[in-house]
Amino acid sequence: MCLRRFERACFLGEPVVYFNSGRPQVDNKWTSLALMVYRETIRAGKMPTSEIFSQILGCLRLPHDTSLQERLTENLGVSDDNSRSSNLYSLIDGFGAYDSPAFSLLEETASIGIVPSVSFKVSPIVVDTKQFHSFTAEVYLLTVLKGLKPRLAAGARIPNIIILLPIEKAKVSSSTREKVINLAGRVCQAVAALLRRLRIPYQGSESYGKIRINGATLKRWFQPKLSSPSTGKPDHLGSSQSRLGKGISHQQRNIRTGDLSYY
């Protein structure tokens, strides 16, 4: 019920996202109620189903409207250079897709076994979404992207990501024979739509149940080309990008000198 009411509020354009300290945060009574009931269920010793957990994450999803995207850009103080490979989502908490508590919720839920923990021990990183519902698949993939940021900051190589997707089979009859084809289900469509929205190119097809994101592509995605709104010229050392670049340099220096207090 909470998810349906929250989605209805988003569809009707009701204010569900507020910017506190410049960060987008979901502030909605149905989201608050869903989180409260979920946590009370956990405290009572009950184990929510994976479907219920996905619905909770859905209540933390940011709307995909143009005005919100413009506000996110405005708060960063920079503008996109409008090229296909450039974006601002990598600089935004939650990548402009989910409120930040969604990631903490996924980690908490992984600790009690409702969803598997995210692992960065293998290369390429394999994200298996075949047992996930749509919202869980999205947040799980975003959690992997979030975890790769420190690797880039430390100067490490960004590994490739392989995403395994559930596929559905359907029989198609023709005048000569009957054949079975693969169809991209709801989870496949959700993951592919998320990647397109974030402007992350990938290889493969959802209908084959496997797609791949190149590590070099991700590295470029994490370092978008920005333009200053005041000059309209490329500004790689301005505003948020400048702070991000300085932070990466400091972390690399601390790692080389053995000073890990930065973390």
Which range of 10-14, 85-89, 224-228 scores highest in mean pLDDT? It is: 10-14
Separation of alpha carbons 109 and 52, rounded Å: 12
- Residue 241 CA to residue 258 CA, distance in Å, equals 26
Sign of CA dihedral 118, 103, 52, 111: positive
Domain boundaries along the sequence of the chain = 2-256
Residue type, 205: S
Q: What is the pLDDT of residues 35-80, one digit of tens each?
A: 999 999 999 999 889 999 999 999 999 998 877 877 877 777 765 5
Whole-angstrom distance, CA of residue 75 vs CA of residue 116? 35
On the CB side of 145, CA atoms within 13 Å amount to 29
pLDDT tens column, 186-224: 899 999 999 999 999 999 988 888 999 999 999 999 988
| pLDDT reported for residue 78 | 64
Q: How far apart are CA 55 and CA 28, in angstroms?
A: 15
pLDDT of residue 24: 87
d(CA 200, CA 170): 29
Torsion of CA 52, 56, 57, 58, to 10 degrees: 100
pLDDT at 259 over 50: no
pLDDT digits (tens, 9 = 90+) for 95-147: 989 999 999 999 999 998 888 888 888 889 999 999 999 999 999 999 999 99
Instruction: Name, in order, each residue with C-beta under 8 angstroms of 151's C-beta and a sequence gap of 6 or more.
Output: 120, 157, 158
> Distance between CA 226 and CA 16 in Å, rounded?
28
Which is higher by pLDDT, 174 or 130?
130
Query: Which residues make beta-bridge pairs with 161?
Result: 125, 213
**Is it the case that residue 234 has pLDDT exceeding 50?**
no
Mention every residue, 6+ apart, whose C-beta is less than 8 A from residue 119.
Answer: 125
